[in-house]
Structure 1
Amino acid sequence: MCGFVTFFSNSSISEESKESLRDMRRIIKHRGPTQDGEYMDDHVYLGFKRLSILDLANGLQPFSYKDELEVVFNGEIYNYISLRNELINEGYEFKTKSEVEVIATLYSKLGDKFVEKLRGMFSFIIWDRKKNTLLGGRDPFGIKPFYYIENETGLYIASELKSFHMNPDSTYTEIDEEALHNYLTFQFVPEPNTLLKDVKVLKPGHIIKKELGKKHEIDCYYTIKFNPTPGSKDEKMEEIRKVLEDSVALHMQSEVPVASFLSGGIDSTVVTALAKKHMPDLKTFTIGFERKGYSEIDLAKESADKLGLENISKIISHEEFANELPKIIWHMDEPVADPAAIPLYFIAKEAAKHVTVILSGEGADEVFGGYTIYHEPNSLKMFDYVPGFMKKALKSGASLVPQGTKGKSFIERGCTPMVERYVGNAKIFLDNEKPEILKKCNSKYTIRKAMTDIYDRAEPYDPITKMQFVDFNTWLTGDILVKADRMTMAHALELRVPFLDKEVFRVASKLTPDEKINGHVTKYLLRESFKSELPFLTALDRKKLGYPVPIRLWLKDELYDWAMNIIKDSNADEYINKEVAMKLVEDHRKGPFDLSRKIWTILIFLIWHKIYIEKVTPFLELENKQ
């Protein structure tokens, strides 16, 4: 919806600093082309870029409340109408119909605790002039971004990391070595860290507070908690239907056009079908590639036809893919080596020609148990009865078996503790592979070290729920939601995710393991809940593709030279062993093993390094001339 930049200075803000702060705001103009605003006093700067969705005429920001508060807010509060009505019944008066006035009024009534009342996706800043206190917060799932730096000059906060590079007092280019190790494992850097040593991310469900003359403090107001509870299947299905219908209805609130992304799977199909009830002429959008097996366009068109909706699709060539990649990585802020980010960028660009708000099915897999890997605890159950010493011997023996041999992976996974085996949907480089590719490899930065805290908090849960908890705290926040926000906001398109809603999660958190994974079926009870609601069932049983990208094939052929040139031309020799990287590309081309994800993870880091560390951004210079 929007973007903001904030600075809480430890001393009076100088004239020189003011212009740098404005540069920080200008660089995120893509997040809000509708309105440009700022507030400034001796110690605080609030800069804002607005994409108008609700109360187009009156929702200007920064928002001043009773000469006491200044507020900037990015996102949507889906229960703001009911909150506003409650406040009116208590005697509060409103001058606008905007969400930001509801936020300010709630804060004036409840203080820091007001954030617990909000249902939506958001990040916000409130400058309390009476208390000389700055309060910031982020939604429970981390849908909206929130970066910050505190140094000797004060506290800087921004919706996108690139803003910090526009100010000499907040520019940091030192790479965090532990974060780089973790990036090679996950294909992203898990929050609250970033690849830059001094830049942090406010974790989901947290608030940050700073008083004048003091360092910031961070507190948690919401945590993800599962509560598997046996109960009536029919009652649970009815509850799922009702809560999702309510969530989609709330997510449809808008004074500008709304559409939906549509693939061939259950998540976007359910969202689209429920959205159609509120907008019969809802447009849908789909992306695909020319390569056979790498497109969901036919499936999406079939679903759209059966729902009686228009479907607009786009096919991407490998040339478009490679040419736009540097700009895509610039928008991403950090290296996220998920190839699915690229088709998302292109379909968002297409959708933005027609609408301002788009619905999507992100989060359904984490909430309802949808990833195929969640079958693993059941398939490996036999190893629960194998003594530890035998597991050690079996794993040692399996390590001697050649890669690709049937049964090798099964034995290795079965004999490896979950805390070492499962780190989320992507596990790119193992610890023993990193010394070869990293110039500065440190053996203390292990996968187990990165995962220990998460698994400690997941201890009470069954294995499937443990995996969900891991994904909520790594994959969802570090990959899925980062690419969803950046790739859509790159085109001033607001993406909304009805599955990532506090009430939807409350209902889904009660599902038992067999209500999530039942035999070979994932998201079992979600599928069962909507069989009678949809006029067709085929989409519910299709294998999930999720924006498949043919990088495995392209790196062998069309993009082979492109990839080799990126490695050769890189100036990141301090971090990456280029000879090893080029050998990976060559070995992938020759086969038989698929090394594309390892190669892609390296390539994305090298391009990111070129843009954010070496400061090579010709695509931006060209754009500014147009």
Structure 2
Amino acid sequence: MCGFLGMLTAGGDADTYVDAVTRALPCMRHRGPDEAGTWHDTDVIFGFNRLSIVDLEHSHQPLVWGPAEQPERYALIFNGEIYNYVELREELSAAGHTFRTQGDSETIVVGYHHWGEAVVEHLRGMFAFAIWDTEEKLLFVGRDQFGIKPLFYATTSAGTVFSSEKKSILEMAPELGLGLELDRRAIEHYVDLQYVPEPESLHAGIRRLESGCTATLRAGGEVVAERYFKPGFEVAPVPKGAEQDLFDRIARALEDSVEKHMRADVTVGSFLSGGIDSTAIATLAKRHNPNLLTFTTGFEREGYSEVDVAAESAAAIGVEHIVKVVSPEEYAGAIPKIMWYLDDPVADPSLVPLYFVAQEARKHVKVVLSGEGADELFGGYTIYKEPLSLAPFERFPTPLRRGLGRLSRVLPDGMKGKSLLERGSMTMEERYYGNARSFNFEQLQRVLPWAKEEWDHKEVTAPIYAQSTHMDPVARMQHLDLFTWMRGDILVKADKINMANSLELRVPFLDKEVFAVAQTIPHDLKIAGGTTKYALRKAMEQIVPPHVLHRKKLGFPVPMRHWLAGDELFGWAQDTINDSQTDDIFHRPAVLEMLKEHRDGVSDHSRRLWTVLAFMVWHGIFVENRIDPQIEEKDYPVNL
């Protein structure tokens, strides 16, 4: 787990840009505080910050490797962990290749020499990497299947620069001749979806390599992504009486994944919210570390008992449990710093408690496990039940459904049945664009008066839906969330917020072998018995404590609705709106009116307000240079 910055120059003048890379590298020192280094030849500069997890004394990066006849042919920079590196080393050694370290990084470059671009299909882990072939003058970059690890890039006449964090590219903007204009369409996407969808970023000149993709480029060329991971959800009915075999396969796959994810030369802990996902991971992890530490967070407000729930689960599985309670003052004070670490805003209030629990965990461990991905793979969101409730509408002729939609629009807000008619009148592609829906179009135009009439979510979702026409409705929703909500929100906060604290987060559910089983679960074993994740719950019956099996999703809930209406955050929100220099983006009076309506109980605007507020803080840091996030590491010297 680390951070890298690299550049493939267009004119073979790498010496010209070494100082720029060196200057930009410290701004992501948090990703790798243990050591830093650079490497370059005439075409490429690689910079690296290392967080040492495996093979602590060796496996330094940038890593240079080659076969005996060309011992320095390849250079590698890599962020992440390869959990099957032991097995890959054995396989590649048997094929005649030699290794010079005991770490996982080397398996990528040796594997590339052996398998070529197909190496990504052999890797079981989370990764973003770049390999420079000095003989072929070829750069190969790749990213893991689900998008756990990030990879930003920008191309100008100077060359292509790529990095684990966008801010390091922004630092190099003067040398690159990179414009810093904002992408107005990406802003619309963010405000509507609460995150910036891949491959966009809020800066027009900087993009992201998408999850499950690779790219090969030469000097002066463009980055053209090629997808290698194409999730299928190829479901076949489970014969009656054979369900238990499926449940057993799920349990074995998850047990194996957790065992692989525990591989480290440092102490591994686990986050624990008390729900089935994190409890299953912690329970399995304890088998490999009897002294496992678990961590959770909560708030100073009556009625939020997730701390007690997590403590109950910790006691049941017999682990030492550490709690961080966050006050509203701490919450508001941390927001600028968190927005700086994110690179682009993510309007998820749980980012802040995650920051504090990660900060606490880093005092005790260097790696934590977590339960991200279980909902997307196993059907955990309540909204996945919707195709069942709306099934009767599917039998209606299209004109009748459209008529019901028109009727719903004239019914008073809050009237029973209004929402059902509205959603039943639409196709799945029209009504569902992931868990992050924030504004409808009318609300969007209220705060973004320049938003174009033709904008709708299908600009983002239509290409994804086009890949899933053969799937059942629940699988289509899961497939969409894999490429939108999960990689745009869930995994961004998992990476950026934990790495802000130099803490490596590992996600055993998002393992390709676990997915290989999960994608075969039929919908009637995902949504069954009045619950979600039915098959996972059945698989965990002999593993997690009984009181956890049917507990609803917990996570780290935030009392945002209450705080924005009360003394805790109302004043902060009002000041943020009034001070923001975003009048060319947001209609300030409309945002202030939304805040007043929220305070007065006219409507719950907490989700929409938080989306705007997060952007305003981000804009104040990265565009206005008005807000100081107080990041001490900006001034760190790098020991090169």
TM-score, normalisation: structure 2: 0.96
Residues 55-70 of structure 1 mapped to structure 2, 5 A cutoff: 55-65=55-65, 66-70=71-75
Residues 220-619 of structure 1 mapped to structure 2, 5 A cutoff: 220-231=227-238, 232-534=242-544, 536-557=545-566, 558-619=568-629
Q: CA deviation at 1:91?
A: 2.0
Deviation string 1:11-66 (CA, Å, 9 cap, x unpaired) is 14365632221122111000001110110122211000000000001110001111
Could you tell me how far apart the structure 2 residues matched to 1:409 and 1:462 are?
23
Q: How many residues align?
A: 625
Structure 2, unaligned stretches of length 5 or more?
66-70
Could you tell me how far apart the structure 1 residues matched to 2:527 and 2:119 are?
37
% same residue: 44
Contact 2:14 2:41 in 1 (8 A): no
Q: CA deviation at 1:385?
A: 1.9
Contact 2:14 2:40 in 1 (8 A): no
Contact 1:125 1:136 in 2 (8 A): yes
Could you tell me how far apart the structure 2 residues matched to 1:623 and 1:119 are?
32
The correspondence for 2:133, drawn from 110, 128, 135, is 128
Moved more, 191-200 or 9-18: 9-18
Q: CA deviation at 1:296?
A: 1.1
Give the secondary structure class of the aligned counterpart of 2:565. coil
Deviation string 1:526-585 (CA, Å, 9 cap, x unpaired) is 001111223x21112111122111110011112111101111101111110000000000
Q: CA deviation at 1:607?
A: 0.7
The correspondence for 2:215, drawn from 208, 218, 224, is 208
Could you tell me how far apart the structure 2 residues matched to 1:244 and 1:497 are?
11
2:99 counterpart letter in structure 1? F
Q: Which residue of 1 aligns with 2:28?
A: 28
Could you tell me how far apart the structure 1 residues matched to 2:406 and 2:109 are?
60
1:89 aligns with 2:90: no
Q: Which residue of 2 aligns with 1:115?
A: 120
Contact 2:358 2:501 in 1 (8 A): yes
Q: CA deviation at 1:295?
A: 4.1
Contact 1:439 1:574 in 2 (8 A): no
Q: CA deviation at 1:212?
A: 2.6
The correspondence for 2:187, drawn from 160, 168, 180, is 180
Distance 1:172 1:519, change over 3 A: farther
Contact 2:14 2:43 in 1 (8 A): no
Give the CA RMSD over aligned residues: 1.4
Q: Which residue of 1 aligns with 2:143?
A: 138
Contact 2:275 2:551 in 1 (8 A): yes
Give the secondary structure class of the aligned counterpart of 1:313. strand
Moved more, 543-552 or 247-256: 543-552
Q: CA deviation at 1:100?
A: 1.6
Q: CA deviation at 1:209?
A: 1.1
Deviation string 1:83-110 (CA, Å, 9 cap, x unpaired) is 1011112222212111122111111112
Give the secondary structure class of the aligned counterpart of 1:217. coil
Q: Which residue of 1 aligns with 2:68?
A: none
The correspondence for 1:190, drawn from 169, 194, 197, is 197
1:265 counterpart letter in structure 2? G
Q: CA deviation at 1:154?
A: 0.7
Deviation string 1:246-296 (CA, Å, 9 cap, x unpaired) is 000000000001000001200001000100110011000000111233341
Distance 1:439 1:593, change over 3 A: closer
Distance 1:252 1:176, change over 3 A: same
Q: CA deviation at 1:384?
A: 1.3
Give the secondary structure class of the aligned counterpart of 2:549. helix
Could you tell me how far apart the structure 1 residues matched to 2:522 and 2:631 are?
53
Q: CA deviation at 1:593?
A: 1.9
TM-score, normalisation: structure 1: 0.98
Could you tell me how far apart the structure 1 residues matched to 2:158 and 2:143 are?
24
Distance 1:215 1:449, change over 3 A: closer
Distance 1:319 1:507, change over 3 A: same
Give the secondary structure class of the aligned counterpart of 2:466. helix
Could you tell me how far apart the structure 1 residues matched to 2:632 and 2:162 are?
28
Q: CA deviation at 1:439?
A: 3.8
Moved more, 555-564 or 491-500: 555-564
Could you tell me how far apart the structure 1 residues matched to 2:633 and 2:133 are?
39
Give the secondary structure class of the aligned counterpart of 2:47. strand
Give the secondary structure class of the aligned counterpart of 1:123. strand
Distance 1:520 1:173, change over 3 A: farther
Deviation string 1:497-516 (CA, Å, 9 cap, x unpaired) is 00000000000000000111
Contact 2:193 2:438 in 1 (8 A): yes
Could you tell me how far apart the structure 2 residues matched to 1:205 and 1:276 are?
31
Deviation string 1:96-154 (CA, Å, 9 cap, x unpaired) is 11112211111111211112111110010101000001111000000000011111111
Could you tell me how far apart the structure 2 residues matched to 1:621 and 1:372 are?
39
